[in-house]
């Protein structure tokens, strides 16, 4: 089986957008590929270096959500980045050969610096994020990284760094990671913008049923529809964008007809959505509660996964050092 690797930063609680956009896809592909999924806690330090203890708390929550959403430690290797120090060692070697200009032209580098104004991001860790990301991927010699089409340029720098290493040392030692293109539907938040913890518009997997229901009931709709008697346009309604993800085709047709003729109100539409979202999240809540009640299960899985990852990463490092003639 071809090897796949991906990770998530523990920079906040996981929300519905993360579940639909990435985590659900991980669950689907774990039967088809040899999968390595990790909590990228070192990456979270690039912007969260001021409060490392919070990253630890989010790491536990992220692991809990990995398992609650359906990742299976019998099928996938689930681990914590910082428990495999080989990532950092390879990062050092790669940082010595990566041109500065490559890092400065990464699209997200300038974007995040412009968006995040309350933190000093003029640090090497923030600039060098792609180098550590490359180490994360190629230390397992992963063939694929699941990404959406808009993220392909971000993966290209990892391919360039792997290619430069192979060129400098005269060997195709590291495979250039390929994009495993997957559909990442845009998941709107309660205010209509893309769901994000930084916007305060997210539905979290840790929210209870009452909270989820209230958030969806008060979600923004078609701004032109102020009363039930006003005819609406589902194509400009964020709630209907969620209906496209969660509801059936028959339900969407019924909603479209009722909205455009003003025979159903927004709360009627939202009731259908709430039903589907609650049904999706109920088994996740049950698994989360089981892990909260049995924390040792979570820690054991992370420990075993990290041991397995460390073994594979260590073997790669040994062979790499032999190739370049490094003796340590």
- Annotated catalytic residues are 112, 194, 197
Q: Give the Cβ contact number of residue 70 at 10 Å.
A: 18
Cα angle at 285 between 27 and 80, to 5 degrees?
A: 50
DSSP notation for 268-326 = HHHHHHHHHHHHHHHHHHHHHHHHHH-HHHHHHHHHHHHHHHHHHHHHHHHHHHHHHT-
Largest alpha-carbon pair distance within the chain?
77
Sheet-wide strand order for 144-147: 76-80, 34-39, 3-8, 144-147, 178-181
- Residues 9-35 as b or e (16 or more Cβ within 10 Å = b): bbbbbbbbbbbbbbbebbbebbeebbb
What is the 3 state secondary structure string of 107-169?
A: HHHHHHHHHCCCCCCCCHHHHCHHHHHHHHHHCCCCCEEEECHHHHHHHHHHHHHHHHHHHHC
CA–CA dist 327, 241 (Å, integer)? 56
Q: Which helix (H) or strand (E) holds 227?
A: none
């Amino acid at each position: 089986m071809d090897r796949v690797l991906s990770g998530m930063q523990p920079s906040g609680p996981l929300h519905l957008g993360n579940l639909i956009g990435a985590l659900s896809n991980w669950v689907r592909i774990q039967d088809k590929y040899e999968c390595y999924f990790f909590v990228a806690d070192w990456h979270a330090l690039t912007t969260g270096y001021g409060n490392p203890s919070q990253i630890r708390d989010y790491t536990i929550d992220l692991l809990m959500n990995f398992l609650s959403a359906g990742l299976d430690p019998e099928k996938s290797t689930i681990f914590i980045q910082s428990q495999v120090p080989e990532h950092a060692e390879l990062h050092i070697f790669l940082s010595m050969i990566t041109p500065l200009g490559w890092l400065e032209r990464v699209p997200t580098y300038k974007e995040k610096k412009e968006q995040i104004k309350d933190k000093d991001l003029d640090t090497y860790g923030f600039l060098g994020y792609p180098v550590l990301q490359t180490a994360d991927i190629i230390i397992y010699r992963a063939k694929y990284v699941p990404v959406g089409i808009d993220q392909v340029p971000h993966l290209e720098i990892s391919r360039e760094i792997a290619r430069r290493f192979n060129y400098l040392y005269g060997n195709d030692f590291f495979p250039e990671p390929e994009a495993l293109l997957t559909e990442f539907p845009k998941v709107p938040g309660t205010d209509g913008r893309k769901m994000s913890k930084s916007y305060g518009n997210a539905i979290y997997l840790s929210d209870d049923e009452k909270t989820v229901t209230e958030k969806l009931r008060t979600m923004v709709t078609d701004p032109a529809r102020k009363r039930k008697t006003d005819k609406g346009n589902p194509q400009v309604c964020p709630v209907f964008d969620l209906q496209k993800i969660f509801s059936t085709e028959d339900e969407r047709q019924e909603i479209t007809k009722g909205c455009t003729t003003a025979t159903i109100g927004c709360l009627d539409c939202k009731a259908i959505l709430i039903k589907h979202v609650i049904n999706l999240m109920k088994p996740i809540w049950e698994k989360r509660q089981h892990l909260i009640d049995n924390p040792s299960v979570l820690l054991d899985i992370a420990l075993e996964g990290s041991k397995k990852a460390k073994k594979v990463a260590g073997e790669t490092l040994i062979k790499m050092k032999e190739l370049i003639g490094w003796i340590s």
